[in-house]
Amino acid sequence: MRKDVRESTALDDMICFQLYAASRGMTAIYRPLLDPHGLTYPQYLVLRVLWHDGPTTVRDLGHTLRLDSGTLSPLLKRLETQGHLRRERQTHDERVVTVHLTATGVALREQIGDLTRQLVCATGLTLDELAQLNHLLSRARGTATLPPKG
C-alpha cells in the first residue's frame, strides 16, 4: 500500500524553503521588466527607496535594505556609473555619504512605472492576498530571531 503523505522533512513542508523559492520566483518576475533599463532587482530596490524617501545616507539606505556596506557599495557604484544617482560626502563629517537621484534616476521612475499590476498578474494572487502575505512576512521578519547557540 502506497503512502501519499509526505514526510515532515520534505522541502515543500519547510517554511524556509517556501520563502526561499518564493523570493527567487518574485525576483524572476521583475527581471524582464528591469532588464530593458539595465537594472538588477537589488538596484531597483535602491531606486525605490530613493524615489520614496529622497536623498538618504548610505548608512540609512543599508539599514532600510538590510544590506551591509560590502554589498551596498558596488550597487551604488554601478548605479552612479549608469548616471542614476550621485554620492556626496558631507562637509561637516566626511564619513557620512548622502545618496541623491540624478535627473536620469528621477526619469527612470516614469519609464519603469508601477510594477504592482504585473506582480499581481504573475502571481495569480489578488491585491488583498498580496497585502495579507506582505503583512505576515513583515511580522515574521520583524520577530524572527536566531536560535540560541549551544
Q: What is 12-113's CATH number?
A: 1.10.10.10
Lookup: cell for 94: 566626511
Cα distance between residue 52 and residue 3, in whole Å: 52
User: Is the per-residue pLDDT at 1 higher than 50?
Assistant: no
pLDDT digits (tens, 9 = 90+) for 69-116: 899 999 999 999 999 999 999 888 888 999 999 999 999 999 997 787
Mean pLDDT of 6-15: 72
Mean pLDDT of 9-30: 88
What is residue 8's predicted lDDT score, i.e. its pLDDT? 54
User: CA of 42: how far to CAs of 13, 72, 150, in Å?
Assistant: 28, 9, 35
